[in-house]
Amino acid sequence: MTTVAPPRGCGNISSDYYLLCDTVKDWGIVLESLTTAGVLTTIILILVLFGLICKVQDNFKRSLIPVQFFFLLGTLGIFGLTFAFIIKLNERTAPTRFFLFGVLFALCFSCLLVHAFNLIKLVRGRTPSSAPMSLVIALSLTIVQIIIAVQYVAINIEALKKQRNEMDSQSRNDFVLLLIYVLFLMAILFVACMFVFCGPYRRWKRHGAHIFITILFSIGIWVAWIALLMRPNRNASWDDPVMSVALVANGWVFLITYALPEFCILTAPQTPGDYPPENSFCQPKHLKRNYGVENQAYAQEDNTQEETGDRTYIPYSTHFQLENLQSQQDFSIPRPKTRSSPYQEYAGGKGVK
């Protein structure tokens, strides 16, 4: 049995880990360095997020912190998953690849989708979802991909354990088919970002621009690596580098185009133009002042009052002229009066004849 000497830069380790230390095929070392930098950056952002909780003044931004925390956890997992593609395909890395790839991206895109849905409400002056509701929606969307991945891995666990060094054509097809739900989330997120830019409250559109740029770059990365993976008559040894580059590139896109810009404006103070008036959600519609024909009628009544000089006419209360009416009854308190005695003319005797 012939033994293969380890490449330059590697010691006495298994051949599955040669790409982590091979200085000849140095693409593994380059990706490993970028992945490590991404992991450290994501951990720093998570710590900064916890430190900024008390400084966030806007209620909606504070309610979105749990969703952003899970987004950073998903990004951290994407960077960590890169090592499973730098290490050669074996019975341990194969289930990890097929299970975690779709689940981690589903978590990240679900968090972005929840943020986009709340922005659609905010740009139209509506009340966004609460923090627990937003978190439940994001995790519920992720659970769908978890169920899909668990079923596939449980059914094909024996076949995955037999995978060695390279995926065959059937495994590549299954890998892409497992990600159809993630592609569906990406499509919905792209359409939702379009609606964020339609609304009178413009300041929230900046957050929508961050999400739109993120999903735009992500779609480009996914189209590229799927096309390279499914391209016929290509060198199968390039599958792992393609997948590793896609993971690292998409992870840095999440950090540069979404996480860092959002953190820069996380503690920005709330302005009056961000939300509608406080009583706009509870005030009855018929009590609100409408702009249109009624407003013109009010203006005409004001002009009439100025021309006639009649101060007793109030156009916004009642349409009746008020007059000062004279009192018809006397409501004064009666005073006591002396009455003549009936015995005043009585002499007390016989009258004189």
Predicted confidence (pLDDT) at residue 155 exceeds the cutoff of 70: yes
- Quote the pLDDT of residue 137: 95
Of 308, 216, 298, 299, which Cα lies nearest the Cα of 254? Answer: 216
Predicted confidence (pLDDT) at residue 271 exceeds the cutoff of 80: no
Predicted confidence (pLDDT) at residue 285 exceeds the cutoff of 50: no
- Quote the pLDDT of residue 75: 96
State the pTM of this model.
0.75
Round the CA-based radius of gyration of the chain to a whole number and report it: 39
Rounded distance between C-alpha atoms, residue 47 and residue 177, angstroms: 36
Predicted confidence (pLDDT) at residue 279 exceeds the cutoff of 50: no
pLDDT > 70: what percent of the chain?
74
**Average pLDDT score, the chain:** 79
- Quote the pLDDT of residue 286: 39
What average pLDDT score do residues 161-175 get? 80
Q: If pLDDT is split at 50, 70 and 90, which confidence band does 335 have?
A: low
| Highest mean pLDDT of the ranges 182-191, 256-265, 314-323 | 182-191
**Model pLDDT for residues 23-53, shown as the tens digit of each residue:** 777 788 889 999 999 999 999 999 999 988 8
Exposed/middle/buried for 84, CB within 10 Å: 0-12, 13-18, 19+?
buried
- Quote the pLDDT of residue 42: 96
More confident site: 279 or 103? 103
For residue 190, what is the enclosing H or E element? helix 180-196
Q: If pLDDT is split at 50, 70 and 90, which confidence band does 274 have?
A: low
Q: Which of 69-83, 211-225, 232-246, 314-328 has the lowest mean pLDDT?
A: 314-328
CATH number for 20-267 (one of 1.20.140.10, 1.20.1070.10, 1.10.3720.10, 1.10.101.10): it is 1.20.1070.10
pLDDT > 90: what percent of the chain?
38
Predicted confidence (pLDDT) at residue 241 exceeds the cutoff of 80: yes
**Model pLDDT for residues 195-227, shown as the tens digit of each residue:** 988 877 777 888 889 999 999 999 999 999 999
Predicted confidence (pLDDT) at residue 352 exceeds the cutoff of 80: no
Predicted confidence (pLDDT) at residue 109 exceeds the cutoff of 60: yes
Predicted confidence (pLDDT) at residue 70 exceeds the cutoff of 50: yes
| Every domain of the chain and the residues it spans | 20-267
Rounded distance between C-alpha atoms, residue 301 and residue 31, angstroms: 75
Secondary structure letter of residue 165 according to DSSP? B
- Quote the pLDDT of residue 41: 96
Q: If pLDDT is split at 50, 70 and 90, which confidence band does 126 have?
A: confident
Q: Residue 297, Cβ neighbours under 10 Å: how many?
A: 11
- Quote the pLDDT of residue 8: 73
Q: Can you list the alpha helix ranges (DSSP code H) found in 87-168?
A: 93-122, 131-155, 157-161
